[in-house]
Structure 1
Amino acid sequence: PWVLWGLLAGAVLVLLYLLDLWRRNRALRRFSEPLLLTSTLGGLSTTRSLLRFLTLRHAFSFAVLALAGPQLGTRVEEVKAQGVDVIVALDVSNSMLAQDLPPSRMEMARRALAQLVDRMKGDRLGIVVFAGEAYTQLPLTADRSAARLFLSNLGPELVPTQGTAIGAAIDLAREGFPEEAGGSRAIIVITDGENHEDDALGAAERAREAGILVHTIGMGTPQGGPIPELQRGRVAGYKKDREGRTVVSRLNEAMLEDIAAAGGGAYVRATVQGTGIDALVAELRGMDQTETGTYRFAGHEDQFQSFLAIAILLIFAGLLLGEGSGTRKRTIAT
């Protein structure tokens, strides 16, 4: 670490000490003869002065080594994590490409999921993606780095069948929790609420009966926006109906509020000011926190204590050493 650069200061201190010693000796010789200085000042022990300096200099070096945090050996710690189990059901249908919630509903949904991952410490997270059908993208796991790997790839291309099967997604998420699992469990549905495929309310009720709360986050605006048709990542046009009119996708807040009510959860709406995930995290933290797993962490043993102890001992030794020779000559008056 950068602290070790402090060891170079030791060489500088040696040069400064030698320069100071030379200047002092030269100054003393200018005012008196060596024999007269010895009898007058009792003598200055260069050897003892050098020993005192080297002692303090080594104390400085050991202090630098202590600050560097030396480590040796290995220690293993077991940590029991406390939290909740959460599975996110994410809508990846084409309507999520609408840009009425800039930069787009899909991008805002990714941000919401990323924020959730960052805030889930000790919790387990799973991801289900859905459009016309639902698929498990990430099984329930406490590995947040694994969840982050999927964020940039979430999009309509993951599900070949278009549509918005919210009910199927909730049912699949419910089945993603271990059967023997107890404690607090929740499903968070992130969608624009345009459900055309199945009975989402029935699925939410089934989840609630299984002891799983269902929360919803609405992506979009009531005014809605057209659905872009992308080519090589750029908007080439907008989706049209059979009569050639531009299709406008609108946020169905009533549907999402009903799903949350049926699932015993809460509904929040994402806006340009925020994704709404903080409100749901507060809901999750209000649930009973149960043990989600035991994890083993390997690390190294800190060894800075030994270096610090040596530095302190050397400082005391250096302070006890005087620069005098220890033999003072007295003049006897006759």
Structure 2
Amino acid sequence: MLRFAHMEYLWGLLIVPAFLLLFIVVTEWKKRAIASLGDKKVVNQMMPEVSLSRPLLKFILFTIAFAFLIIAAADPQIGSKMEEEKRKGADLMILLDVSNSMLAQDLPPSRLENAKQAIAQLIDNLHSDRIGIIVFAGEAYVQLPMTTDYSAAKLFLNTINTNMVPTQGTAIGAAIDMGMRSFDFKDGTGKSMIIITDAENHEDDAVAAAKNATEKDVMVNVIGIGSAEGAPIPVYQNGKQIGFHTDSTGKTVVSKLDENMGKEIAAAGNGTYVRATNANSGLNIVMDQINKVQRKTIDSKSFKDYEDRFQFFLAIAFVLLIIEFFISNRKSLRLSGLKLFEVKKS
């Protein structure tokens, strides 16, 4: 199994085509400059030491050496040992509301940031469960497919914002349906969803979607985020708040947590409803319920003990650069004067 410890360094290989283009331009310029001096045969006789092939050879050696240096910097590693391990876990899909109302600050710094912090803490406490993330507003999108790579999950989590779904709204039902399509029901593991939302659902029948999920033994839990009193929705421009959302009459829109909707969805999904607060996100209560979900032992194989292999690429690059250094751009008159295969006339 091959991997690179610093994959980002491989972008340096894009410089190779630039080298090639520059070499072609310079070579053509030299040819035109020499041609402008006069007849080609006469000019060649006047410059017997000029070589056309050696600069090409030096360029090839240098370019290959450069490419190998870039690969060495990326630190290629080979998995030298395959280990088989067993894990006992379930599948957990997070459905995160990213509608504009999640910018309300009744749970500082905002509903969305509060939710992301809670999810990050949840990921830190996972051990063998697979996790996925779906974001939704007026539409739903898979942000992270099911994975046990918790580092990747936190990386994807950090990129979530309210601008990633172009259609505004709160389509909880669509998010539940997409979550169902994202599950692999063939492995027999327990499945559950955690919906984190202010529950202002205006787009579809989320209760019916949750009820359909239970038909495949998927538990649907809801964490209500926000307050009953509500809060205005900030409007940002270039990272700065410039005001609040208003309706068609110019009145400031106040977004309120709809606990009744959240409770209905959770009840239909045989799950738990919890209201998040600044002191408690509610995820621990929901996870207690999820821990009761059937867990199945799963066999998986992975490479361990990765060994660095950058030394080989570095050594080859070093040798090529030495060879390139000792190749002259000019012909060797002494060597060119040798005619090893010339038959002497007696």
Q: TM-score under structure 2 normalisation?
A: 0.64
- Corresponding residue number in structure 1 for 2:242: 236
Q: After superposition, what is the alpha-carbon deviation per residue over 1:93-152, rounded to whole angstroms, capped at 9, x for unaligned?
A: 000000011110000110121122112210001111100000111111111111111112
Q: 2:89, 2:295 within 8 Å by CA — same for their partners in 1?
A: yes
- Over 6 Å off, 4+ runs: none
- Corresponding residue number in structure 1 for 2:192: 186
C-alpha displacement of 1:179: 3.6
For 2:299 and 2:236, how far apart are their aligned partners in 1?
43
Q: Using a 3 Å threshold, how does the CA distance of structure 1 residues 170 and 99 change in structure 2: closer, same or farther? A: same
Q: 1:124, 1:292 within 8 Å by CA — same for their partners in 2?
A: no
Q: 1:81, 1:295 within 8 Å by CA — same for their partners in 2?
A: no
Q: Which of residues 114, 139, 149 in structure 2 aligns to 1:143?
A: 149
C-alpha displacement of 1:291: 2.4
Q: Using a 3 Å threshold, how does the CA distance of structure 1 residues 85 and 95 change in structure 2: closer, same or farther? A: same
- Paired residues, number: 228
- Corresponding residue number in structure 1 for 2:290: 284
Q: 2:89, 2:189 within 8 Å by CA — same for their partners in 1?
A: no
**Equivalent position SS for 2:266:** helix
- Corresponding residue number in structure 2 for 1:84: 90
Residues 1:266 and 2:272 are matched in the alignment: yes
- Equivalent AA in structure 2 for residue 252 of structure 1: D
Q: Relative contact order (alpha carbons < 8 A, sep ≥ 6): 1 or 2 greater?
A: 1
C-alpha displacement of 1:298: 1.6
Q: TM-score under structure 1 normalisation?
A: 0.66
For 2:140 and 2:81, how far apart are their aligned partners in 1?
44
Residues 1:206 and 2:212 are matched in the alignment: yes
- Corresponding residue number in structure 1 for 2:67: none
Q: 2:219, 2:269 within 8 Å by CA — same for their partners in 1?
A: yes
For 1:293 and 1:207, how far apart are their aligned partners in 2?
27
Which runs of no fewer than 5 residues in structure 2 stay unpaired? 1-78, 307-346
Q: Using a 3 Å threshold, how does the CA distance of structure 1 residues 74 and 179 change in structure 2: closer, same or farther? A: closer
Q: Using a 3 Å threshold, how does the CA distance of structure 1 residues 132 and 292 change in structure 2: closer, same or farther? A: farther
Q: After superposition, what is the alpha-carbon deviation per residue over 1:10-68, rounded to whole angstroms, capped at 9, x for unaligned?
A: xxxxxxxxxxxxxxxxxxxxxxxxxxxxxxxxxxxxxxxxxxxxxxxxxxxxxxxxxxx
C-alpha displacement of 1:181: 3.0
- Equivalent AA in structure 2 for residue 281 of structure 1: M
Q: 1:122, 1:292 within 8 Å by CA — same for their partners in 2?
A: no
- Equivalent AA in structure 2 for residue 101 of structure 1: L
Q: Which of residues 217, 224, 232 in structure 2 aligns to 1:218?
A: 224
Q: 1:82, 1:292 within 8 Å by CA — same for their partners in 2?
A: yes
C-alpha displacement of 1:292: 4.2
**Farther off after superposition, 257-266 or 179-188:** 179-188
Q: After superposition, what is the alpha-carbon deviation per residue over 1:207-262, rounded to whole angstroms, capped at 9, x for unaligned?
A: 00111000011110001000000112221100001111100000001100110000
**Equivalent position SS for 1:111:** helix
CA-atom RMSD in angstroms = 1.6
C-alpha displacement of 1:282: 1.4
Q: Using a 3 Å threshold, how does the CA distance of structure 1 residues 205 and 135 change in structure 2: closer, same or farther? A: same
Q: Using a 3 Å threshold, how does the CA distance of structure 1 residues 173 and 292 change in structure 2: closer, same or farther? A: farther
For 2:187 and 2:243, how far apart are their aligned partners in 1?
47
Larger radius of gyration: 1
- Equivalent AA in structure 1 for residue 167 of structure 2: T
For 1:293 and 1:120, how far apart are their aligned partners in 2?
18
- Corresponding residue number in structure 2 for 1:28: none
**Equivalent position SS for 2:208:** helix
Q: Which of residues 129, 137, 142 in structure 2 aligns to 1:123?
A: 129
Residues 1:94 and 2:123 are matched in the alignment: no
For 1:103 and 1:154, how far apart are their aligned partners in 2?
15
For 2:210 and 2:112, how far apart are their aligned partners in 1?
23
